[in-house]
């Protein structure tokens, strides 16, 4: 993606089902879980580089022994920083106490971070300051082991204000309004309540205070706690949590917006945001890794018992299509094929744009996530050429010379690596003209392969704000002096804000929205903006379920092609000499390519939860009133 877009977070949870001695004997180390967690977090570093966190719990410790460890970092390479801290601490202890080396019991008792229950998180900061205090996992501490709660998630809630007010009404005093704190306190409230009730019940049954503790751990109904806590949640989430005594859970939102996958055998239970992470780290097959169903939680009790429980009634499945286009690693078997198909489905429009002139067209892509779609696009060009070659030979009716046949067969797509992304350039000068010149050099190009008679087709996975295209990519491509530059997006036009985890909260940041406004102005229809604003204002005090997305009415004034043409104008300035055209994926093709991930609200405005319409309503009001605040 050429535009800088902060997006999803990644979660990883490991529960070791055997004693640590088992892993020492089989794998040579009692740090098996820690090592696997490092790999799982590294394999998901694409999901977040602003921060990372790790937490572990030791089972069955004696009173007075530390059983929870946590480390978080916002260093430039936060995952490496976390595990460097862990290794340094462990190595120091081992040097000072050589007797720990072969004694797993002593390692567990004295060394931090080693444990049977582990939780990892990589973060992109979509809300709040990027300080270590905003990095997951979050910890809610208590002297009662059962009331300790560790939470990490890949999520955004659309109704965090409502949830915050709910906590205040029951007498709590949350330290801030961030959704992670709010969600943790919500779960914590019902956890406290459940523990208190179990304790009271056990006392009635005649158990002593000391005898109650392990029985509470055994009887605690995690599914019931999650049902009560999540009753009013509205958003996209994969929420992971650990309880101090060793229970663990991951809960997925009822529309399946955010992804979660799990694997279980007799040694481990593993949950992660992406399937190939588990496949690679644990060397298991595609079919061994299961998708957690929407509205369900995978719960692992301290005893090792694993269950899948329905927590919230599932909604219509609207799993995020952007996961398939961009966010998730392309090494997933299904995602790889889906991205190729996105490229293939675009080719009829591309061939039309170049008037089938493949001889005078160079095909390329913007690194790096568009590469797979590019492969699909090229396969379709090859199919097109093969049909044309076959027809040319048949039309010759056996009268072609060997030289002519050779010329026909030699025609193939012209593929070049044109765009090269340089190491991240830091715009250390704040004066605008200087910054623009620096931004323009984020990408470089390959010289000498484009002729003035050539079309240049370059595919990107999506076009969000258009900033990098305008300030860097188009200008760099134009230096090659092509006749025409065709920018192809494997995603449809991004028209609406996201509110489930991605940093696309303001309408005016989206180039499709700006293009639509320009068209309204040019066609003397800008008065419609005021009318839509008045409709949005009239909805401010309605319940979420009654709010409509009136912004759709503005887009409906124009065809998708008209908006694409206007976007092509907006990503150029007067210095660009080549003709520029943009081609976007049609919505129907997106659904064909990604049939299991029909969550397309960025493109269609069809939000999967009732809070989505409130967010787009507020985003439009903010735009009209010049308010730069987030819409949620």
Whether pLDDT at 428 is above 70: no
Q: Are residues 70 and 96 in the same domain?
A: yes
Residue keyed to tokens 């050779």: 406
Q: Is residue 48 part of a domain?
A: yes
250-292 pLDDT per residue, tens = 999 999 999 999 999 999 999 999 999 999 999 999 999 999 9
Q: Is residue 112 part of a domain?
A: yes
pTM given for the model: 0.91
What is the reported pLDDT for 443? 74
Q: Are residues 404 and 466 in the same domain?
A: yes
Q: Are residues 253 and 361 in the same domain?
A: no
**Residue 625, both tokens:** 């009133």
Last residue in a domain, options 252, 285, 317: 317
Closest listed residue to residue 52, CA positions, set 28, 82, 7: 82
Residue 44: pLDDT band (50, 70, 90) is very high
Q: Which residues contact 609 (CB under 8 A, 6 or more apart)?
A: 158, 234, 235, 236, 255, 257, 315
For residues 413-440, average pLDDT: 63
Backbone phi, psi, residue 613, to 5°: -65, -35
Partners of residue 117 on adjacent β-strands: 15, 57
Whether pLDDT at 438 is above 80: no
Q: Are strands 455-460 and 484-489 parallel, antiparallel or unpaired?
A: parallel
Mean per-residue pLDDT of the chain: 91
Q: Are residues 305 and 343 in the same domain?
A: no
125-144 pLDDT per residue, tens = 554 456 788 889 999 999 88
Q: Is residue 191 part of a domain?
A: no
Could you tell me the CATH number of the domain that includes residue 21?
3.60.20.10
What is the reported pLDDT for 168? 63
Backbone phi, psi, residue 51, to 5°: -175, 165
158-174 pLDDT per residue, tens = 877 777 666 667 666 66
What is the reported pLDDT for 430? 43
Domain residues for 435? 323-625
Residue 436: pLDDT band (50, 70, 90) is low
Instruction: Give the whole-angstrom CA distance, residue 591 versus residue 321.
Output: 9
Residue 632 or 489, more confident? 489
For residues 597-601, average pLDDT: 96
Q: Are residues 298 and 345 in the same domain?
A: no
Q: Are residues 304 and 345 in the same domain?
A: no
Question: Which 8-state DSSP code applies to residue 100?
Answer: G
Q: Is residue 499 part of a domain?
A: yes
Q: Are residues 413 and 439 in the same domain?
A: yes
Q: Is residue 207 part of a domain?
A: no
- 570 contacts 515 by C-beta, under 8 angstroms: yes
What is the reported pLDDT for 441? 66
Q: Is residue 174 part of a domain?
A: no
Q: Which residues contact 420 (CB under 8 A, 6 or more apart)?
A: 367, 443, 444, 445, 446
Whether pLDDT at 550 is above 60: yes
322-340 pLDDT per residue, tens = 999 988 988 999 999 999 9
Residue keyed to tokens 């006749």: 483
3-state DSSP assignment of residue 327: helix
Q: Is residue 594 part of a domain?
A: yes
Distances (CA, A) of 459 to 470, 537, 581: 15, 39, 12
Instruction: Give the whole-angstrom CA distance, residue 242 versus residue 33.
Output: 15
Could you tell me the CATH number of the domain that includes residue 491?
3.40.50.2020
Whether pLDDT at 627 is above 60: yes
Report the number of distinct structural domains present in the chain: 2
What is the reported pLDDT for 422? 67
**Residue 316, both tokens:** 């219509």
What is the reported pLDDT for 4? 47
**Residue 322, both tokens:** 């952007």
- 567 contacts 465 by C-beta, under 8 angstroms: no
448-473 pLDDT per residue, tens = 999 999 999 999 999 999 988 998 89
For residues 505-520, average pLDDT: 95
Q: Are residues 334 and 269 in the same domain?
A: no
Question: Which 8-state DSSP code applies to residue 472?
Answer: I
Whether pLDDT at 347 is above 90: yes
Q: Is residue 4 part of a domain?
A: no
Backbone phi, psi, residue 469, to 5°: -60, -50
What is the reported pLDDT for 246? 97
Q: Are residues 428 and 297 in the same domain?
A: no
Q: What is the dihedral of CA 89, 20, 298, 336, to 10 degrees?
A: 70
Question: Which 8-state DSSP code applies to residue 510?
Answer: -
Instruction: Provide, for the chain, the percentages of residues in helix, strand and coil under a 3-state DSSP scheme, each rounded to the nearest 5.
Output: 45, 15, 40
175-188 pLDDT per residue, tens = 665 677 788 889 99
For residues 196-220, average pLDDT: 92
Last residue in a domain, options 282, 317, 352: 317
Whether pLDDT at 194 is above 90: yes
Q: Are residues 470 and 508 in the same domain?
A: yes
Residue 96 or 425, more confident? 96
For residues 429-447, average pLDDT: 61
Whether pLDDT at 350 is above 50: yes
Q: How many residues can be counted in the chain?
A: 632
Q: Are residues 511 and 621 in the same domain?
A: yes
For residues 614-621, average pLDDT: 96
Q: Are residues 341 and 429 in the same domain?
A: yes
What is the reported pLDDT for 432? 46
What is the reported pLDDT for 174? 60
Last residue in a domain, options 317, 336, 362: 317
Which of 19-33, 319-333, 351-365, 450-464 shows the lowest per-residue confidence on average (mean pLDDT)?
Answer: 319-333
Partners of residue 131 on adjacent β-strands: none
For residues 548-557, average pLDDT: 98
**Residue 522, both tokens:** 């040019």
């Amino acid at each position: 993606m050429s535009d800088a877009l902060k997006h999803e977070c990644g979660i990883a949870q490991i529960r070791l089902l055997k004693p640590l001695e088992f892993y020492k004997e089989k794998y040579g180390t009692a740090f098996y879980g820690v090592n696997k967690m490092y790999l799982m977090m590294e394999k998901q570093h694409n999901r977040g580089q602003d921060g990372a966190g790790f937490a572990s719990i030791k089972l069955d410790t004696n009173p007075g022994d530390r059983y929870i460890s946590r480390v978080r970092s916002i260093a430039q390479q936060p995952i490496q920083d976390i595990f460097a801290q862990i290794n340094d601490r462990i190595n120091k202890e081992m040097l000072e106490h050589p007797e720990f080396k072969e004694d797993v019991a002593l390692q567990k008792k004295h060394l931090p971070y080693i444990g049977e229950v582990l939780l990892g998180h990589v973060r992109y900061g979509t809300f709040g300051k990027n300080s270590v205090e905003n990095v997951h996992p979050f910890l809610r501490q208590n002297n009662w082991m059962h009331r300790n709660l560790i939470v990490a998630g890949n999520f955004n809630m659309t109704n965090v204000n409502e949830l915050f007010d709910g906590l205040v009404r029951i007498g709590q005093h949350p330290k801030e309004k961030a959704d992670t704190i709010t969600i943790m306190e919500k779960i914590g409230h019902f956890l406290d309540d459940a523990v208190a009730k179990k304790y009271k019940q056990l006392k009635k049954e005649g158990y002593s205070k000391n005898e109650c503790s392990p029985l509470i751990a055994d009887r605690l109904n995690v599914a019931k706690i999650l049902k009560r806590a999540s009753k009013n949640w509205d958003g996209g989430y994969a929420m992971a949590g650990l309880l101090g005594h060793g229970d663990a859970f991951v809960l997925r939102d009822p529309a399946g917006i955010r992804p979660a996958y799990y694997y279980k055998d007799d040694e481990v239970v593993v949950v992660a945001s992406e399937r190939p992470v588990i496949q690679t780290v644990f060397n298991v097959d595609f079919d061994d890794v299961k998708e957690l169903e929407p509205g369900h939680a995978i719960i692992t009790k301290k005893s090792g018992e694993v269950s899948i429980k329905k927590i919230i009634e599932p909604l219509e499945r609207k799993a995020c299509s952007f996961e398939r286009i961009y966010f998730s690693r392309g090494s997933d078997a299904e995602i790889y094929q889906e991205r190729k198909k996105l490229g293939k489905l675009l080719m009829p429009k591309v061939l039309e744009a170049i008037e089938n002139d493949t001889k005078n067209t160079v095909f390329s892509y913007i690194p790096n996530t568009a590469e797979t779609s590019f492969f699909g696009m090229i396969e379709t060009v090859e199919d097109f050429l093969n049909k044309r070659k076959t027809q040319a030979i048949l039309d010759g009716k056996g009268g072609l010379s060997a030289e002519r046949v050779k010329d026909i067969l030699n025609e193939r797509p012209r593929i070049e690596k044109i765009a090269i992304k340089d190491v991240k350039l830091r715009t250390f000068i704040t004066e605008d003209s200087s910054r623009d010149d620096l931004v323009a050099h984020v990408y470089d190009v390959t010289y000498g392969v484009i002729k003035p008679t050539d079309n240049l087709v370059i595919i990107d996975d999506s076009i969000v704000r258009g900033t990098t295209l305008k300030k860097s990519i188009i200008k760099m491509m134009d230096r090659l002096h092509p006749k025409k530059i065709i920018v192809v997006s494997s995603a449809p036009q991004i028209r609406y804000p996201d509110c489930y985890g991605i940093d696309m909260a303001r309408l005016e940041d989206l180039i499709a929205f700006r293009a639509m406004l320009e068209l309204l102005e040019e066609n003397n229809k800008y008065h419609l903006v005021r009318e839509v604003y008045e409709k949005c204002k009239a909805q401010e005090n309605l319940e979420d379920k009654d709010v409509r997305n009136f912004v759709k009415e503005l887009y409906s004034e124009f065809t998708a092609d008209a908006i694409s043409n206007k976007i092509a104008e907006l990503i150029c300035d007067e210095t660009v000499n080549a003709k520029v055209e943009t081609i976007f994926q049609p919505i129907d093709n997106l659904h064909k390519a990604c049939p299991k991930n029909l969550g397309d609200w960025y493109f269609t405005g069809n939000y999967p939860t009732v809070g989505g319409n409130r967010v787009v309503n507020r985003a439009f009001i903010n735009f009209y009133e010049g308010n730069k605040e987030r819409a949620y």
